[in-house]
Amino acid sequence: MSGGGMNEAKLIFEKSVEGRRATQKTPSDVGHSVNLNPDYLREAPPELPELSELDVVRHFTELSTRNFGVDTGFYPLGSCTMKYNPKVTERIAALPDFAGLHPLLPQLRLGGMLTQGALEVIWRTDLLLRELTGMAGFTMQPLAGAHGELTGIMIMAAYHRDRGNSKTTVLVPDSAHGTNPASAAIAGYDVVSVPSDENGLMDLDALREQVDDRTAGVMLTSPNTLGLFNPRVKEICDLIHSVDGIAYYDGANMNAIVGRARPGDFGFDIVHLNLHKTFATPHGGGGPGSGPVGVVEGLLPFLPVSLVVKREDGTLALEYDRPKSIGYIAPFYGNFGIVLRAYVYLLMLGRDGFLGVSENAVLNANYLRTKLKDVYRQAYDRLCKHEFVISPSKAMEEKGIRAVDIAKALIDRGFHPPTVYFPTIVRESMMIEPVETESKETLDDFAEAMLEIARLAKEQPEVLTGAPRSTSVRRPDETKAAKELNIASL
Ligand SMILES: *Cc1c(COP(=O)(O)O)cnc(C)c1O
């Protein structure tokens, strides 16, 4: 076997040796043959790599060590942060009685109660999320945050259709996560961007001018992507309601306020949560996710099918007969395993636990912000919630150092970089979310690395522009890397 040196990114196909095998096929003793339609038969065997078991295991084990995740190091990616992934929730989600559940098992028929337990997990999670958000009911079906947004906007549209309203626009602040305007546009609305004021919050005067009879609703994230909470959310909701609009709350990062404040009490009508950010599920690489959507009483009829409901005899059932529903948005139960993890997490933490989550999320972010704010440029110098945004200082910029150089230099120091160049309303932005579960020691180590990088930026900028130096792939041409998937060749 050719030893997999760290810098030698060999594909498994390149390691293949003709005739080498990991297993030996025993000849079948069943003695029957199947006549397949020749249209479906291959003319040549598939080109699969040929390796021994040891080669395969080494290959994939080596690849896994090149990954970076929350289990390997600090991951302060703002907004889309991987938060806490407790191992106990993984254990429970892997229990065969849950993991092996077939979606077509009967709910109650055949004299069995085969899915009552799963339905109960969904139903109880719904009840707990209602408490946390102040909503009247949830759908667990959406498979991601963005999918939840689309579901929410479709509910908004169904409400307006039902009322005979002809509404065409959705208002979205310029600091919003990119999925917000995308969801509103996919649902058929014209997106109107609301500017931020000098405090980084939605400009209320501008909003007043933009709200009119065409306004279907607003999509707001508070705290927003700058980590700033808008103390005038209630006023915003009231303004939207005055034209029979719907106020939508993007609760992807509920860790900032969870257990402490409820979007329903601010006046919001629709909320989506990202179970895969705030409620215990690992994510990345596109999934799996779960973006439950909660609504106020008046919007319950529009929730997608099916919904888990409790019948008079105390059993739970999936309800499909919902004439005003927006219909199907996902098959079966949504991503049930993710809902299950969230349920376990909700029970584990309880009320006091969630108070601790929001307290530590905000404390950690402000601790780090305070350590960095005199050395980096801070867009908005005030208390933040779960995250904050900084940029290279003027002195660093004069040496040609950009956010991307700082991000790459962090990789050499064993940290995942923060989100860079978002939000777009801050130049050269680095959005940092330390999350609630990191220790003071980790935050101190990260701050120290950031301060060392700041020193290098002024004294030896060329060291930073050449980073990262410790990785098997150095700094690819970003455009080429996006177009050619073989990064080993860059
Ligand atoms: C992550 C995120 C989303 C989208 O969630 P996905 O599951 O990635 O689709 C929406 N809004 C905010 C503020 C987010 O951080």
Contact between residue 183 and residue 150 where contact means Cβ atoms under 8 Å apart = yes
The verdict on the CB of residue 250 being under 6 Å from ligand 1 is yes
- Rounded-to-integer distance, Cα 428 and Cα 391, Å: 5
pLDDT of residue 152: 98
* Cα–Cα distances in angstroms (integers) from residue 459 to residues 102, 390, 402, 417, in the given order: 61, 20, 15, 22
Reported confidence tier of residue 1, pLDDT bands at 50, 70, 90: very low
Least confident of 83-92, 238-247, 255-264: 83-92
Report the 10 Å Cβ neighbour count for 352.
Answer: 9
296 pLDDT above the threshold of 70: yes
pLDDT of residue 103: 80
pLDDT of residue 168: 98
Pocket test for ligand 1, best of 225, 277, 338, 422 (most atoms within 8 A of CB): 277
2 pLDDT above the threshold of 50: no
pLDDT of residue 188: 97
Q: What is the pTM of this model?
A: 0.90
Contact between residue 407 and residue 76 where contact means Cβ atoms under 8 Å apart = no
What confidence tens digit (pLDDT) does each residue in 269-286 have? 999 999 999 999 877 666
Q: Ligand 1: which atom is nearest the Cα of residue 253?
A: 15
Give me the phi and psi of 133, to 5 degrees please: -110, -20
Contact between residue 189 and residue 170 where contact means Cβ atoms under 8 Å apart = yes
Q: Is 152 exposed, middle or buried (0-12, 13-18, 19+ CB in 10 A)?
A: buried
Q: What is the DSSP letter of 385?
A: S
- Rounded-to-integer distance, Cα 132 and Cα 147, Å: 21
Least confident of 92-96, 313-317, 451-455: 313-317
SS3 479: helix
Pocket test for ligand 1, best of 77, 141, 274 (most atoms within 8 A of CB): 274
Average pLDDT over residues 85-93: 93
Q: E strands within 128-243?
A: 137-139, 169-173, 190-194, 215-220
Least confident of 77-86, 138-147, 416-425, 463-472: 77-86
Q: Is 234 exposed, middle or buried (0-12, 13-18, 19+ CB in 10 A)?
A: middle
Element (H, E) at 142: none
Average pLDDT over residues 356-377: 97
* Cα 146 to ligand 1 centroid, rounded to whole Å: 6
What is the DSSP annotation of 407-462? HHHHHHTT----EES-STTSTT-EEE---TT--HHHHHHHHHHHHHHHHHHHH-HH
162 pLDDT above the threshold of 50: yes
Reported confidence tier of residue 23, pLDDT bands at 50, 70, 90: confident
Q: What domains can be seen in the chain, in order of their start residue?
A: 1-22+41-67 (no CATH), 88-348 (3.40.640.10), 354-476 (3.90.1150.10)
Nearest Cα to Cα of residue 392 among 428, 342, 338: 428
Element (H, E) at 33: none
The verdict on the CB of residue 144 being under 6 Å from ligand 1 is yes
pLDDT of residue 8: 60
In this structure, are strands 137-139 and 316-319 parallel, antiparallel, or unpaired? unpaired
Count Cα neighbours of 262 within 13 Å in the Cβ-side half-sphere: 16
The verdict on the CB of residue 402 being under 6 Å from ligand 1 is no
First to last CA, the chain: 25
What confidence tens digit (pLDDT) does each residue in 447-474 have? 999 999 999 999 999 999 999 998 878 8
pLDDT of residue 239: 98
Residue-averaged pLDDT of the chain: 92
- Rounded-to-integer distance, Cα 367 and Cα 158, Å: 44
Residues 6+ apart with CB under 8 A from 36: none
260 pLDDT above the threshold of 80: yes
pLDDT of residue 6: 47
Average pLDDT over residues 182-204: 97
**In this structure, which residue's CA is closest to atom 14 in ligand 1?**
252
- Rounded-to-integer distance, Cα 237 and Cα 266, Å: 8
Give me the phi and psi of 77, to 5 degrees please: -65, 115
Reported confidence tier of residue 4, pLDDT bands at 50, 70, 90: very low
The verdict on the CB of residue 141 being under 6 Å from ligand 1 is no
Average pLDDT over residues 394-401: 96
Cis before 417 (ω within 30): no
The verdict on the CB of residue 221 being under 6 Å from ligand 1 is yes
Q: What is the DSSP letter of 202?
A: B
b/e 106-137 (16+ beta carbons within 10 angstroms → b): ebbeeeeeebbebbebbbbbbebbbebbbbbb
Written as one letter, the residue type at 71 is D
- Rounded-to-integer distance, Cα 338 and Cα 294, Å: 17
* Cα 455 to ligand 1 centroid, rounded to whole Å: 34
- Rounded-to-integer distance, Cα 299 and Cα 156, Å: 8
Which carries the bigger pLDDT value, residue 314 or residue 171? 171
Task: Look at phi and psi of residue 103 and say left if phi exceeds 0, alpha if psi is from -120 to 50, else beta.
Answer: alpha
The verdict on the CB of residue 419 being under 6 Å from ligand 1 is no
The distance between the two most distant Cα atoms of the chain, rounded to a whole number of Å, is 80
pLDDT of residue 293: 98
pLDDT of residue 81: 79
- When computed from its CA atoms, the radius of gyration of the chain, rounded to whole angstroms, is 26
The verdict on the CB of residue 253 being under 6 Å from ligand 1 is yes
Q: Ligand 1: which atom is nearest the Cα of residue 146?
A: 9
399 pLDDT above the threshold of 90: yes
Q: Is 23 exposed, middle or buried (0-12, 13-18, 19+ CB in 10 A)?
A: exposed
Reported confidence tier of residue 333, pLDDT bands at 50, 70, 90: confident
